[in-house]
């Protein structure tokens, strides 16, 4: 898992100009893509790699041998790094011997074997200089999948000694090579002339900067690759070139599955907190149990709402007879938590339940908020607009008799499509044989909504 910026280095190769090749080989999308990759890897929302841990050889005038030497010197000077990211964008092709190579700025079509850089040379350099480290290759070029076989062997005999030499007693628990290839070994990569980036890198940057919804806080190389594939399929259909993820070398773990990248879809979410929107412990008026407008019954204006002058707020709800219910005022919330203390004081104490339900649910109810010990509370509310069967969904619990109890339950009606408001109610059980009202006293009631800040 990447935890510090000094654990990773970035190598960038390629070019957008090829003066010795056909003019059609030049493409500004290559430069834009390389710049976008560097910006991401060095950004705080990326891997935050410092300039000292980046070697940018894009469009370099150096030949293959000089670039190879520059990479060796760079890796030796950053020998404490654990992760090497190697990005190439440009053209990949084959020599007559079927050796796979990457084109550099001054590659000569008549002397490709001397002026291009064979992937086997890159593999050999990393095999010697970076044995024991995790190497992540990102090749945005034609036939990129052909690079896999060059990294399959040859690391074994040097891993232990090179790792011990580089890290001393702090031997890495895992290492290897993973490749994210823009195309298979038989396909060309695509960079449209009217597009700012190549098809592959545009999709890669999109995934890296936007993240993957519902995934973990950190994403693996493989997850990124799969999401890039999905993005290209969705955006380009049958014209899209689907990338591949390979792990030709694994030591102790498949490094393509190690969490690496910050999931921006998850990181942009602030923690979800429970925020009280009603709490009868303080001087909060009962109007918070209403929706947008007060629901005062004609003739009951003076009883519709009052705050107790002192002491513990205690109010009660009554459910009369089998499957009868008492209901409270509606609340403008679909998802949340209710916490409360309760005491069943009369009626059938063995079969009383307390529920939350979407407001447009139909049921019989006892519309009466009564008084307790002479203190006033909400008297009644009008639910005549409740017009659907309550099979649409309930959230609640069965209450326990015998004194005061603490209780809490969650409710979530966001996917019900029924209403943006809910109400709470009591209901006598279906098997109740006690036909008089069941009365429950409530105290210390707090209703929370979930909210991000």
List, for residues 392-418, the tens digit of each pLDDT value: 456 778 888 888 889 888 888 776 655
3-state SS assignment for residue 46: coil
Q: Is the pLDDT of residue 195 over 70?
A: yes
**What pTM was computed for the model?**
0.60
Alpha-carbon separation of residue 341 from 312, 314, 324, 354, 409 (angstroms)? 12, 10, 22, 12, 12
Residue closest to 289 by CA, chosen among 336, 328, 339: 328
Beta strands 335-346 and 437-452, pairing class: antiparallel
Of the listed ranges 189-198, 251-260, 436-445, the least confidently predicted one is 436-445
* Residue 352 pLDDT: 76
Q: Tell how far CA 371 is from the center of its chain.
A: 49
The predicted pLDDT at position 58 comes to 98
**46 close to 262: Cβ distance less than 8 angstroms:** yes
pLDDT for the residue numbered 269: 66
Counting residues of the chain whose pLDDT is more than 90, the rounded percentage is 44
Mean pLDDT of the chain: 75
The rounded distance, in Å, linking the Cα atoms of 328 and 371 is 14
Write down the pLDDT at residue 324. Answer: 45
HSE on the CB side for 377, CA within 13 Å? 21
**Above 60 in pLDDT, residue 99?**
yes
Q: Which residues of 414-443 are buried (b: 16+ CB within 10 A; e: fewer)?
A: eeeebbebbbbbbbbbeebebeebbbbbbb
- With bands split at pLDDT 50, 70 and 90, how would you rate the model's confidence at 9? very high
Q: Stretch 23-41: mean pLDDT, rounded? A: 96
Average pLDDT over residues 171-185: 84
Integer Cα distance of 388 and 390 in angstroms: 6
The pLDDT assigned to 411 comes to 82
Write out pLDDT tens, residues 68-96: 999 999 999 999 899 999 999 999 999 99
Cross-strand partners of 366: 326
The DSSP output letter for 296 is P
CA nearest neighbour of 152 among 187, 178, 188, 116: 178
Mean pLDDT of 299-303: 37
- The C-alpha atoms of residue 430 and residue 352 are separated, in whole angstroms, by 10
Confidence of residue 225 (pLDDT cuts 50, 70, 90): very high
The domains of the chain, with CATH numbers, are: 5-267 (3.40.50.1460), 272-452 (2.60.120)
pLDDT tens digits, 229-277: 999 999 999 999 999 999 987 877 789 999 999 998 876 666 667 777 6
Query: What is the SS3 assignment for 306-369?
Result: CCCCCCCCCEEEEEECCCCEEECCCECCCEEEEEEEEEEEECCCCCEEEEEEECCEECCCECCE
């Amino acid at each position: 898992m990447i935890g510090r910026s000094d654990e990773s280095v970035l190598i960038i190769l390629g070019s957008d100009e090829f003066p010795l090749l056909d003019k059609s080989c030049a493409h500004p999308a290559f430069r834009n893509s390389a710049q976008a990759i560097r910006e991401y890897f060095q950004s705080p929302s990326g891997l935050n790699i410092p300039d000292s841990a980046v070697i940018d050889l894009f469009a370099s005038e150096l030949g293959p041998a000089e670039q190879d030497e520059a990479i060796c010197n760079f890796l030796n000077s950053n020998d404490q790094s654990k992760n090497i990211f190697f990005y190439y964008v440009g053209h990949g092709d084959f020599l007559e011997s079927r050796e796979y190579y990457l084109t550099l700025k001054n590659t000569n079509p008549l002397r490709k074997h001397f002026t291009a850089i064979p992937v086997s040379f890159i593999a050999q350099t990393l095999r010697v200089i970076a044995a024991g480290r995790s190497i992540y290759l990102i090749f945005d070029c034609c036939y990129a999948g052909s690079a896999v076989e060059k990294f399959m062997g040859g690391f074994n005999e040097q891993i232990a000694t090179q790792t011990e030499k580089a890290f001393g007693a702090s031997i890495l628990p895992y290492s290897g090579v993973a490749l994210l290839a823009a195309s298979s070994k038989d396909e060309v990569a695509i960079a449209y002339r009217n597009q700012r980036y190549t098809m592959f890198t545009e999709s890669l940057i999109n995934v890296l900067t936007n993240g993957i919804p519902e995934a973990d806080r950190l994403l693996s190389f493989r997850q990124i690759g799969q999401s890039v594939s999905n993005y290209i399929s969705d955006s380009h259909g049958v014209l899209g070139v689907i990338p591949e993820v390979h792990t030709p070398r694994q030591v102790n773990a498949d490094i393509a599955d190690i969490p690496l990248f910050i999931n921006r879809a998850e990181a942009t979410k602030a923690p979800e907190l429970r925020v009280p929107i009603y709490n009868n412990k303080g001087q909060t008026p009962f109007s918070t149990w209403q929706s947008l407008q007060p629901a005062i019954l004609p003739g009951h204006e003076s009883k519709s709402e009052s705050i107790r002058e002192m002491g513990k707020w205690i109010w009660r709800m009554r459910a009369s007879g089998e499957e009868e219910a008492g209901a409270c005022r509606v609340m403008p919330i679909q998802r949340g938590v209710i916490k409360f203390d309760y005491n069943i004081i009369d009626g059938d104490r063995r079969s009383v339940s307390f529920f939350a339900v979407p407001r447009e649910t139909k049921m019989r109810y006892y519309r009466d908020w009564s008084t307790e010990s002479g203190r006033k509370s909400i008297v009644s509310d009008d639910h005549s607009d409740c017009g659907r069967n309550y099979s649409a969904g309930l959230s609640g619990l069965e209450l326990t008799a015998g004194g005061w109890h603490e209780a809490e339950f969650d409710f979530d009606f966001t996917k019900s499509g029924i209403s943006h408001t809910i109400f709470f109610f009591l209901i006598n059980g279906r098997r109740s044989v006690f036909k008089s009202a069941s009365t429950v006293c409530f105290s210390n009631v707090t209703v929370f909504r979930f909210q991000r800040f």
